[in-house]
Amino acid sequence: EVVLTQSPATLSVSPGERATLSCRASQSVASNLAWYQQKPGQAPRLLISRSSTRATGVPARFSGSGSGTEFTLTISSLQSGDFAVYYCQQYGNWPLTFGGGTKVEIK
Amino acid sequence: EVQLVESGGNLVQPGGSLRLSCAASGFTYTNYAMTWVRLTPGKGLKWVSSISGSGERAFYTDSVQGRFTISRDNSRNTLYLQMNSLTADDTAVYYCAKHPHDGDSHFWYFDLWGRGTLVAVSS
């Protein structure tokens, strides 16, 4: 199965700063990668699909890039509601797999 | 409102059984493939099982194959997960999630999730 490694595990950022999250795949998944945001007690929310396509209603400060084995989620200017856990997920190969998550916390 | 609401989670003894349900609303349920995903503190998110919109095709992760059965009742807009022979490793929050297609696609990401239901397996 495709193993997704997210880094860092925890990212401490001040509001207004830029956050860069990484997701590395153990083998190529082409552009078949999605990103989700999850806040405590809430359902995960789709942010990005197909590596770089923002989901409906997702602010433009969220952007995704990459293909093959290296992917990045960038939050250009962190707002208070962006502090959460972020997961990547690949759907290029079965079984579907997720990264271990990156917690973005307030610095 | 477009939403998924899971129920049925509980404390169960090892070897026991449980059936989870997921009620869908706000969209044409039969048109979309559905999946169960679980979250454990130590292992993160793990795909468990998926089913096509018609219910004709189902897929399972190896660790639950033969113990879990996914099904759906399209007349009731409800997804199910029958879990048998439960072990401590099955302890997790179980989420149901929707795909943006009926199963005849390779875009198997999730565009809608529920809030989850907790399954705890312990004696």
Name every residue whose Cβ is closer than 8 Å to that of residue A46 and which is 6 or more positions away in sequence: A34, A35, A36, A55, A58, B109, B110, B111, B112, B113
Kindly report the nearest CA distance between residue A85 and chain B, in angstroms. 11
Quote the pLDDT of residue B48.
98
B107: closest chain A residue by CA? A91
Indicate which of A39, A46, A85 best probes the interface with B, i.e. most B CBs within 10 Å of its own CB.
A46
Average pLDDT in the B68-86 region? 98
Average pLDDT in the B9-18 region? 98
DSSP reduced 3-state for B60: strand
> A46-81 b/e with 16+ CB inside 10 Å = b?
bbbbebbebbeebeeebbbebeebebbbebeebeee
Which tokens sit at B44? Answer: 């993160």
Quote the pLDDT of residue B104.
81
Report pLDDT digits (tens) over B38-50.
999 878 899 999 9
B40: closest chain A residue by CA? A100
A4-7 and A10-13 as β-strands: parallel, antiparallel, unpaired? unpaired
Quote the pLDDT of residue B105.
83
Q: Is B106 on the interface with A (CB under 8 A)?
A: yes
B117-121 and B11-12 as β-strands: parallel, antiparallel, unpaired? parallel
Is residue B21 over pLDDT 90?
A: yes
Quote the pLDDT of residue B25.
97
Q: Which chain A residues have any C-beta within 8 angstroms of a chain B C-beta? A: 32, 34, 36, 41-46, 49-50, 55, 87, 89, 91, 94-101
Quote the pLDDT of residue B42.
79
Other residues' Cβ atoms within 10 Å of the Cβ of residue B35: 22
Which tokens sit at B103? Answer: 């199963």
Report pLDDT digits (tens) over A20-77.
999 999 999 999 999 999 998 899 999 999 999 999 999 999 999 999 999 999 999 9
Report pLDDT digits (tens) over A83-104.
999 999 999 999 999 999 999 9
Q: Cβ contact (<8 Å) for A95 and B116?
A: no
Burial of A31 (0-12, 13-18, 19+ CB in 10 A): middle
> Mean pLDDT score of chain A, rounded to an integer?
96
Quote the pLDDT of residue B101.
87
Can you tell me the distance from the alpha carbon of B65 to that of B54, in angstroms, rounded to the nearest whole number?
20
Quote the pLDDT of residue A103.
96
Quote the pLDDT of residue B53.
95
